[in-house]
Chains A and B, each alone.
Chain A
């Protein structure tokens, strides 16, 4: 029954996508409206309706609901499954977590082993194939066990009540962290952020916080240690303890170290891979592009020289000044220089003359760099697709705003019935400008060319450079 039940519910609330939390809410609050396509399921639906009438309980296997939950959506899922109030379920988890640690362990295990709503496999299913993750879990668990053993040896019996839940929680969290989908990992990161902030930061306040916590721990530890042993026997006990710790470290230490080192290596490898991908993308956009152009224009020595020189300049500024190829921002970059750069780039890469005109000038900030990036995209597009012999690029810096116009007399298009390739331009330029508070207007008609008008308001405090 459970399978048909869950299938049924999914049909009852179609097109909700991953927003499964509200799907459950809908099914529990009101019967869904019939779907034409699902008409053949009508008898089954009737059966389902009679089941819901008994109460706000849903059927089917327990599913987590990350979309409506605070952490892993376990409480939300359990509440939906049992018909209890979600706040009550959360309270039970918190209380049992505080008093025995059981709640935390149960929660994290459920997070690991119960699939999210709308998915078949749990995080655990994936985690069991993650060899390095399992090793890491074993390492973390063994480390905690050793610490707990030491704690109980020095006489802190209250710690042992949370010992097993603590081990389970830590181990499960490691596996969740390594195997959860990105959005759940983001939740975990958000929850852990305050703790990591204290541990990782190097600002003054964080160091103070760290030292304070360490001092409190030290005082508590010492008082616990010495409270039961007022005579010199304490020293002997401590000596024995040191030997035990040394023995454990001797046995397990190298293994822990290796796990830690593996993690560092893995992280470095990932960083290197990202760097390589970045370099590959930049080289592709600049050097490889130019080489391809040079091959195509081998018959025109003057242009080959020009291409090679432009590429050399760009490569040098990347390697030695750290300015990424094609980047429009940077020290000393102005609107007019950026427009000239776009002109040179498009002329070199697409062989279409660009008539670039700038009136006024100003330094670039992030907003204006975005404006130029949009202008470049529009210019490249005009050079590539319009079929026009030239592209007009006009920029004007006025006190209140900067405007850039990209116009071609090419084939144009009907903005109301936009074909795929131009839609990409329109949307990406629009989005880019809107994010920064600017605007983009595309005017075009078949046979009449295209004009893209871009406007970006200017910070009133900015002064015009170079105007005596």
Chain B
């Protein structure tokens, strides 16, 4: 979307997670590749910290003692739209993931992600790109397939449906392909892959259909 603002050098990162052990683990894994400028362990301190430091990327745990990670995003976004969020979750529970994405996170990865992959994800989010884990791609495919059921006509086809190409890209992400591999597979450029993913993310965030969130809850029950 706003790809031109890639910060030169190391992205400045804030880690928000209620587990101190996890924070220090991530900090050491990121090493010198990024500049960790602060840590927070709950919603309120995180909002204060991020408002004061304006980092490039916030690594945001989906579950915090004071509420979901989406509270942090909604509180920050209005005043500091340039701060980007990368959601981290151990649970993979669809409704959590969809909630933070819809609140405005630029991507989602599981906590099992390797150090180098996490650095790569942070760099991409800092550059304005989005990061889809295979899990998130699966969720989105499922959510749009469910909400595109014939008995529920789309209110806004532009936002409520995925194009065939977007579905193709998501399917390959879910199959474990990297953006580069997807580009090779579909004979398109990596940038085009990125455009498709960003477009999916936008639909996910802007689609007015509450089916998306309802879908997530249904899936949890099923």
Interface of A toward B, CB cutoff 8 Å = 353, 355, 357-361, 389, 392, 394, 396, 405, 407, 409, 451, 466-468
B147-161: CB near A (< 8 Å → 1, else 0) gives: 001000000000000
Whether the pair A357, B145 counts as a contact (CB closer than 8 A) is: no
Whether the pair A394, B138 counts as a contact (CB closer than 8 A) is: yes
- Knowing A355-B135, A357-B135, A407-B176 are in contact, say whether A467-B171 is a contact too (CB < 8 A): no
Alpha-carbon separation in the docked complex, A394 to B176 (Å): 8
Please indicate the chain B residues that have their CB under 8 angstroms from the CB of A394 in the complex.
Answer: 134, 138, 171, 174-176
- Knowing A355-B134, A359-B138 are in contact, say whether A396-B146 is a contact too (CB < 8 A): no
Whether the pair B138, A357 counts as a contact (CB closer than 8 A) is: yes
Minimal Cβ-Cβ distance residue in B for A361 = B222
Whether the pair A467, B146 counts as a contact (CB closer than 8 A) is: yes
Please indicate the chain A residues that have their CB under 8 angstroms from the CB of B146 in the complex.
Answer: 467
Alpha-carbon separation in the docked complex, A205 to B177 (Å): 61
**For window 14-38 of chain B, which residues contact chain A by CB distance below 8 Å?**
none
B171-215: CB near A (< 8 Å → 1, else 0) gives: 100111100000000000000000000000000000000000000
Please indicate the chain B residues that have their CB under 8 angstroms from the CB of A409 in the complex.
Answer: 176
Please indicate the chain A residues that have their CB under 8 angstroms from the CB of B41 in the complex.
Answer: none
Checking A389, A466, A467 against B149 with a beta-carbon cut-off of 8 angstroms, the contacting residue is A467
- Knowing A394-B138, A467-B146 are in contact, say whether A357-B174 is a contact too (CB < 8 A): yes
Tell me whether chain A's interface is mostly helix, strand or loop, or mixed. Answer: strand
Please indicate the chain B residues that have their CB under 8 angstroms from the CB of A467 in the complex.
Answer: 146, 149
Please indicate the chain A residues that have their CB under 8 angstroms from the CB of B176 in the complex.
Answer: 355, 392, 394, 405, 407, 409
Please indicate the chain A residues that have their CB under 8 angstroms from the CB of B138 in the complex.
Answer: 357-359, 394
Q: A407-B177, A467-B146 are in contact. List 16 more A-B contacts (CB 8 A).
A: A355-B134, A357-B134, A357-B174, A358-B142, A359-B174, A360-B145, A361-B222, A392-B134, A394-B134, A394-B174, A394-B175, A396-B174, A405-B175, A407-B176, A466-B222, A468-B218
Tier of interface size on chain B: 10 to 19
* In the complex, B141 has a CB within 8 A of chain A: yes
* In the complex, B5 has a CB within 8 A of chain A: no
User: Closest CB of chain B to A258's CB: distance in Å?
Assistant: 62
- Knowing A353-B112, A394-B138 are in contact, say whether A407-B175 is a contact too (CB < 8 A): yes
Shortest 4 CB-CB contacts between residues of A and residues of B: A392-B176, A357-B138, A407-B176, A359-B141
Minimal Cβ-Cβ distance residue in A for B218 = A468
Please indicate the chain B residues that have their CB under 8 angstroms from the CB of A355 in the complex.
Answer: 134-135, 176
Alpha-carbon separation in the docked complex, A451 to B181 (Å): 13
- Knowing A405-B175, A407-B175 are in contact, say whether A396-B135 is a contact too (CB < 8 A): no
Please indicate the chain B residues that have their CB under 8 angstroms from the CB of A389 in the complex.
Answer: 114
Alpha-carbon separation in the docked complex, A361 to B142 (Å): 9
Minimal Cβ-Cβ distance residue in B for A403 = B171
Please indicate the chain A residues that have their CB under 8 angstroms from the CB of B114 in the complex.
Answer: 389
- Knowing A353-B112, A394-B176 are in contact, say whether A359-B142 is a contact too (CB < 8 A): yes
Minimal Cβ-Cβ distance residue in A for B171 = A396
Alpha-carbon separation in the docked complex, A466 to B142 (Å): 13
Alpha-carbon separation in the docked complex, A407 to B112 (Å): 18
Minimal Cβ-Cβ distance residue in B for A355 = B134
Minimal Cβ-Cβ distance residue in A for B214 = A468
Minimal Cβ-Cβ distance residue in A for B176 = A392
Alpha-carbon separation in the docked complex, A360 to B142 (Å): 6
